[in-house]
């Protein structure tokens, strides 16, 4: 039995619809991660501050915590916006979908404009 080196795997060529669907799923995943980042990074620290101040204690126990909370919130907002913008770029890579979208808008009586 001979062993062949460098045997190439045949790449399956996927259709345009499959590529578009893969891009839409990727954009959906990125958008979901952005939403989770925003919730975990912004609302959880704010909610924990609310719970800590209900019993009359100080909001922050030390200076390090006073700097860490706003920094965490800003980083979460920046990361969520970055992920959302990446999802928009993935959607912009869809093939031949703009023509159909423009036709749908025109049927609804809206005249869209493309900013290129």
Tens digits of residue pLDDT in 88-105: 888 888 777 655 455 455
Would you list the domain boundaries of the chain? 17-96
pLDDT digit string, tens, across residues 20-75: 889 889 999 999 999 999 999 988 888 877 776 666 566 666 777 778 888 889 99
pLDDT of residue 59: 65
What is the rounded CA–CA span in Å between residue 21 and residue 14?
11
Q: Record the pTM.
A: 0.65
What is the rounded CA–CA span in Å between residue 97 and residue 21?
11
């Amino acid at each position: 039995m001979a062993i062949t080196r460098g045997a190439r795997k045949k790449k399956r060529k996927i259709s345009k619809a499959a590529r578009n669907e893969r891009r839409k799923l990727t954009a959906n995943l990125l958008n979901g991660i952005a939403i989770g980042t925003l919730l975990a990074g912004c609302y959880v620290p704010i909610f924990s501050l609310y719970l800590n101040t209900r019993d009359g204690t100080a909001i922050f126990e030390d200076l390090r915590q006073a700097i860490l909370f706003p920094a965490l919130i800003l980083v979460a907002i920046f990361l969520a916006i970055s992920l959302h913008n990446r999802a928009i770029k993935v959607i912009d890579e869809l093939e031949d979908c703009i023509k159909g979208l423009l036709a749908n808008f025109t049927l609804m009586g809206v005249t869209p404009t493309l900013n290129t």
